[in-house]
A and B are shown apart, each in its own frame.
Chain A
């Protein structure tokens, strides 16, 4: 992406509601044709940022630039975007056709042209035969598609989606993820989507912007964010993560109680004996062919085995690390082959490539979302 000029630039954006700072010093770039997700727990300021970009609630400080033009203070009418809200905001008294054509009618487009454009859009979202229905006569998923078609009808340079899928039930939601992504890819329209659902962000986005309490925590590709979270918040918010408190040892060493681990990811500036947090994902824990000589081998006792369909989630008690529990994923095969049972002793390894170390103490909060 480097080298190209960003299509949308947000610079040092701050938004205050009275004394409350909803967004603080946000800077980010979105490139042409990109699909970017704003991801964060609810109330973190995602919608506020989206509305600032749209000009619906203009920021207190900072710049917004779109297609090389400073739009910081412009009203929404003078910006170039299409938007889909969580509620869809479809006009209930207009038919599907009228809704989709709504933005075209005032543009001196001829009637046949409008009809053709509406037909084309409805075709691409699979709603051709629903043209004359009213929104109330459609299912949630269909309403969502109408809202999307309406937003795209005027060929905006930027598509903004605010939690577009959260009002739908799980099955429809997963199908629409793919549809939206495919449509976006086909049209090549630069898109920003707000969501609090990490899975949605991971499956749809080209890049994810993780936001927490009004500040950006990390920007990166889904793989990046998942495998190299820059801080415990991101690590915790995305996917499942073990948080183990320990102290820094010599060089690339960390200590959890009596256990010494080697790591490749120790951040700079950490001195020996500093308190640290060691993170590893349950699926990254090595379970097969581990001997006491394997790097970072950890003897454990299996406390519980929870069957989760395609795998087991095991809780492993680590006595040597001071009564810590680690969650690890055991494949069905493994459990079957080795006849693993609760209460059994079992040695796993924490591969040094997958261990992440943070120089701060993090108390895991399960109810962050």
Chain B
């Protein structure tokens, strides 16, 4: 043995398996590069150019901030988002409190009702609000002479639309807090109010802050609600749309969507920091809290949840009812005419099938790509730089609002010099855009599931000379089926309901249901818009139902080996 050889750094032989892993990981990284990094770069550079593509420095931004009509939107967006965030977090907090800390009846029913808005495009609650509070609405008197079109309508619509998202975050953080703290507090003689302020609030403060950031981001980047009920009240999200679709001013659209990017990125970063802190708390062994019955408190909580539930069900019912009558509110005889989309402007009957097709492809391809990517990031060995880069790439989509992403796609894919130009205005680009838009949450779901699997499966497999992909297919995937179903359901439902990213990308041949809702509403065909919205809700609801049935059946079939 030569001593020199012993001192040298050992060269790892890279096996063919490693090459396969790296190849796939590289391909997915390349996908993200094309699907998010390069488009975003195209968007950012567009903001510094004039119409002819000359670099103009900050001219566009100067114009933006010195044009009162434009800069006013910044103030409007911030105001609306702040107010809505405070309201929705408060409402959801009490709702979550009722679900976890009271002994009221029908908890799962109330939870189910609260989740309904997830199945809607954000346009739908806004359209419902117009049926209720618009010029011919049956509840208009409740606004005391104020108009639904404007800040009031936006806040109401956003609160309803965002409610389930916020509720879920708070519910998770509440159900994780430690029951022993409550016992300790009570045994020390602290009353319910004191316990609330010394135990409940501190233990979920990260959950609340996180919910606040998520709510703020979702609201400020949402485009459906202000589009329908915003009236003359301009916000950033509608400005992007107006600049691009209305005025064909792509450069200013880029500037506005970059301004929109700022709060989204800040909220995203803050949320990541908070999440990390919360994880640290949760890893401590906690005993779930078991509430004790208290008739008066339980009754109050039931009443509160019933009230919120009625509003949500009401929003859905009004849309459904309005879509089923001849002419709201003058002729209330029932008809299915509004569901004959072939007669309508802005989409036609194909749009629904396009949406289902797009959502199915998104669910299937998205789940495969995202789960495989997550697996390789989590379980492959070596190749540290590649995995670190991948970890950064997968987080990017979360920080980019749908409108900005859609606009970025125009700039990138519609560029005549881009070899991928052929994708523009096709169904595949809608699928790519949607997968990318919802990549991060799906990826994190997959990672959570993969982290629960023994890290040595790959080692054992290698020692038995079984290639990793066989073990992936025979062991990892079957174990992760529940998470895989969750991801595909999430992708499908979001692909059905999303408007913001795809609104810039569809063509007459690839019109989507959610976009059709928008266009029919624009054209004054509110009943048909509602009808299409209901179609989306039913489809998304059907997917959820199917998901529940599959998950149940699977749990029964695999209970022999799944540890509960």
Indicate with 1 or 0, residue by residue over A73-92, a CB within 8 angstroms of chain B CB atoms: 11111110111010101011
Q: Is the CB of B462 within 8 A of A82?
A: no
How many A residues, CB 8 Å from partner?
42
Residues on the B chain within 8 Å of A93, using CB: 475, 478-479, 558, 561
Residues on the B chain within 8 Å of A77, using CB: 15, 17, 462, 465, 467
Residues on the A chain within 8 Å of B249, using CB: none
Measured between alpha carbons, how far is A214 from B411 in the docked complex, in Å?
57
Q: Is the CB of B466 within 8 A of A102?
A: yes
**A46 contacts B by Cβ under 8 Å:** no
Q: Is the CB of A76 within 8 A of B13?
A: no
Interface residue from A56, A75, A85 paired with B18 (Cβ < 8 Å): A75
Q: Is the CB of B463 within 8 A of A63?
A: no
Given contacts A61-B9, A106-B470, A150-B464, contact A76 B561 (CB under 8 A): no
Shortest CB distance A160–B (Å): 8
Q: Is the CB of B464 within 8 A of A135?
A: no
From 31 to 78 in chain A, residues with beta carbon under 8 angstroms from any chain B beta carbon are 54, 56, 58-63, 72-78
Residues on the B chain within 8 Å of A135, using CB: 561
From 133 to 165 in chain A, residues with beta carbon under 8 angstroms from any chain B beta carbon are 134-137, 150-151, 153-154, 156
**B12 contacts A by Cβ under 8 Å:** yes
Q: Is the CB of A92 within 8 A of B10?
A: no
Closest to B470 in A: A106
Q: Is the CB of B10 within 8 A of A72?
A: yes
Q: Is the CB of A107 within 8 A of B475?
A: no
Residues on the A chain within 8 Å of B12, using CB: 58, 73, 75
**B5 contacts A by Cβ under 8 Å:** yes
Shortest CB distance A34–B (Å): 20
Measured between alpha carbons, how far is A157 from B562 in the docked complex, in Å?
34
From 1 to 37 in chain B, residues with beta carbon under 8 angstroms from any chain A beta carbon are 1, 5-15, 17-18
Interface residue from B5, B13, B463, B471 paired with A82 (Cβ < 8 Å): B463
Interface residue from B10, B460, B471 paired with A83 (Cβ < 8 Å): B460
Measured between alpha carbons, how far is A59 from B463 in the docked complex, in Å?
18
Shortest CB distance B457–A (Å): 6
Measured between alpha carbons, how far is A61 from B10 in the docked complex, in Å?
5
Q: Is the CB of B454 within 8 A of A87?
A: yes
Residues on the B chain within 8 Å of A74, using CB: 13
Measured between alpha carbons, how far is A135 from B560 in the docked complex, in Å?
9
Q: Is the CB of A136 within 8 A of B563?
A: yes
Q: Is the CB of A61 within 8 A of B6?
A: yes
Residues on the A chain within 8 Å of B454, using CB: 85, 87, 89
Closest to A59 in B: B10
Given contacts A72-B10, A73-B10, A78-B13, contact A136 B463 (CB under 8 A): no
List the count of A-B residue pairs having beta carbons below 8 Å apart.
Answer: 110
Q: Is the CB of A11 within 8 A of B6?
A: yes
Residues on the A chain within 8 Å of B421, using CB: none
Interface residue from A72, A76, A102, A107 paired with B459 (Cβ < 8 Å): A76
Measured between alpha carbons, how far is A81 from B460 in the docked complex, in Å?
10
Measured between alpha carbons, how far is A89 from B459 in the docked complex, in Å?
9
Q: Is the CB of A62 within 8 A of B14?
A: no
Residues on the B chain within 8 Å of A275, using CB: none
Q: Is the CB of B465 within 8 A of A103?
A: yes
Closest to A85 in B: B456
Q: Is the CB of A73 within 8 A of B475?
A: no
**A94 contacts B by Cβ under 8 Å:** yes
**A291 contacts B by Cβ under 8 Å:** no
From 191 to 209 in chain A, residues with beta carbon under 8 angstroms from any chain B beta carbon are none
**B51 contacts A by Cβ under 8 Å:** no
Central interface residue in B12, B381, B463, by most chain A CB within 10 Å: B463
Q: Is the CB of B561 within 8 A of A136?
A: yes
Shortest CB distance B15–A (Å): 4
Indicate with 1 or 0, residue by residue over A1-31, a CB within 8 angstroms of chain B CB atoms: 0000000000110000000000000000000
Interface residue from A61, A82, A136, A153 paired with B8 (Cβ < 8 Å): A61
Residues on the A chain within 8 Å of B462, using CB: 56, 75-77
Closest to A107 in B: B465
From 472 to 506 in chain B, residues with beta carbon under 8 angstroms from any chain A beta carbon are 474-475, 478-479
Closest to B462 in A: A76
Residues on the B chain within 8 Å of A137, using CB: 560-561
Measured between alpha carbons, how far is A59 from B12 in the docked complex, in Å?
9
Residues on the B chain within 8 Å of A63, using CB: 1, 5-6
Central interface residue in A76, A105, A154, by most chain B CB within 10 Å: A76
Shortest CB distance B364–A (Å): 23
Shortest CB distance B480–A (Å): 10
Closest to B13 in A: A73
Measured between alpha carbons, how far is A56 from B463 in the docked complex, in Å?
9
Residues on the B chain within 8 Å of A156, using CB: 463
Shortest CB distance A158–B (Å): 10
Q: Is the CB of A60 within 8 A of B9?
A: yes
Shortest CB distance B483–A (Å): 14
Q: Is the CB of A56 within 8 A of B459?
A: yes
Closest to A83 in B: B463
Q: Is the CB of B7 within 8 A of A87?
A: no
Measured between alpha carbons, how far is A60 from B6 in the docked complex, in Å?
10
From 425 to 458 in chain B, residues with beta carbon under 8 angstroms from any chain A beta carbon are 454, 456-457
Given contacts A11-B6, A73-B13, contact A94 B475 (CB under 8 A): yes
Q: Is the CB of B6 within 8 A of A12?
A: yes
Measured between alpha carbons, how far is A127 from B475 in the docked complex, in Å?
23
Q: Is the CB of A11 within 8 A of B1?
A: yes
Shortest CB distance B121–A (Å): 38
Q: Is the CB of A151 within 8 A of B463?
A: yes
Closest to B453 in A: A92
Measured between alpha carbons, how far is A106 from B473 in the docked complex, in Å?
14
Interface residue from A60, A85, A102, A136 paired with B464 (Cβ < 8 Å): A102
Interface residue from B457, B465, B474 paired with A154 (Cβ < 8 Å): B465
Shortest CB distance A194–B (Å): 14
Shortest CB distance A55–B (Å): 8
Interface residue from A59, A92, A107 paired with B561 (Cβ < 8 Å): A92
Residues on the A chain within 8 Å of B479, using CB: 92-93
Shortest CB distance A78–B (Å): 7
Interface residue from A72, A75, A76, A92 paired with B14 (Cβ < 8 Å): A75
Q: Is the CB of A89 within 8 A of B463?
A: no
Residues on the B chain within 8 Å of A11, using CB: 1, 6
Measured between alpha carbons, how far is A63 from B9 in the docked complex, in Å?
10
From 263 to 292 in chain B, residues with beta carbon under 8 angstroms from any chain A beta carbon are none
Residues on the B chain within 8 Å of A60, using CB: 9-10
Residues on the B chain within 8 Å of A154, using CB: 464-465
Residues on the A chain within 8 Å of B7, using CB: 12, 61
Q: Is the CB of A85 within 8 A of B560?
A: no
Give the top 8 A-B pairs by smallest Cβ distance, nearest first. Answer: A103-B464, A134-B561, A75-B15, A76-B462, A89-B456, A12-B6, A91-B475, A93-B478
25 contacts between A and B (CB under 8 A): A12-B7, A56-B381, A61-B8, A62-B10, A74-B13, A75-B12, A76-B462, A76-B463, A78-B15, A82-B463, A83-B460, A85-B460, A89-B460, A91-B471, A91-B475, A92-B561, A93-B479, A93-B561, A103-B466, A106-B470, A134-B560, A134-B561, A136-B560, A136-B563, A150-B464
Residues of A within 8 A of B (CB): 11-12, 54, 56, 58-63, 72-79, 81-83, 85, 87, 89, 91-94, 102-103, 105-107, 134-137, 150-151, 153-154, 156
Since A58-B12, A85-B459 are in contact, a sample of 13 more A-B pairs with Cβ atoms closer than 8 Å, ordered by chain A residue number, is A61-B8, A62-B6, A73-B11, A75-B13, A75-B18, A83-B459, A87-B454, A94-B474, A94-B475, A102-B464, A134-B560, A150-B464, A153-B464
Residues of B within 8 A of A (CB): 1, 5-15, 17-18, 381, 454, 456-457, 459-467, 470-471, 474-475, 478-479, 558, 560-563
